[in-house]
Amino acid sequence: MPEESSSDSDSDSDDGEEDAGSTEPPPPEQPAAEQPATGPSS
């Protein structure tokens, strides 16, 4: 039970943070660095 509880808490926190972070870094990084750099540059 202790492992499941810990895993659940860790998984929830890690999964949620990792999921949101993994999905947030790619979009904001590319459009924020590529769009503005390629937009005005072009």
pLDDT tens, residue by residue, 1-42: 555 555 455 555 555 555 555 555 555 555 555 556 565 655
Cα(2)–Cα(23) distance, rounded to whole angstroms?
30
Q: How many residues does the chain have?
A: 42
Which pTM does this prediction carry? 0.11
Secondary structure element (H or E) that encloses residue 39, with its range: helix 26-41
Cα(20)–Cα(31) distance, rounded to whole angstroms?
17
The pLDDT assigned to 16 comes to 52
8's tokens: 């659940």
